[in-house]
Amino acid sequence: MSRRGNCWDNAVIESFFKTLKTELIYQLPKHVDMNNMCWLVSEFIGHYNHDRPHSSNDYLSPNQFEQIRLDEVAQIDNTLGTK
pLDDT digits (tens, 9 = 90+) for 1-51: 567 777 677 888 888 999 999 999 999 998 999 999 999 999 999 999 999
Residue type, 34: M
> Does 69 reside within a domain?
yes
> Does 2 reside within a domain?
no
Identify whether the C-beta of residue 48 lies closer than 8 Å to the C-beta of residue 62. yes
Domain count, the chain: 1
Q: Which residue range(s) make up the domain with 57? A: 32-83
Say what the pLDDT of residue 11 is: 85
Identify whether the C-beta of residue 28 lies closer than 8 Å to the C-beta of residue 40. yes
Say what the pLDDT of residue 83 is: 60
> Does 12 reside within a domain?
no
Whole-prediction pTM value? 0.72
Q: What are phi and psi of 60, to 5 degrees?
A: -105, 160
C-alpha to C-alpha distance for 19 and 4, rounded to whole angstroms? 22
CA 68 vs CA 15, 38, 44, 65: distances in Å:
23, 31, 23, 5
> Does 17 reside within a domain?
no
Say what the pLDDT of residue 10 is: 85
> Does 46 reside within a domain?
yes
> Does 36 reside within a domain?
yes
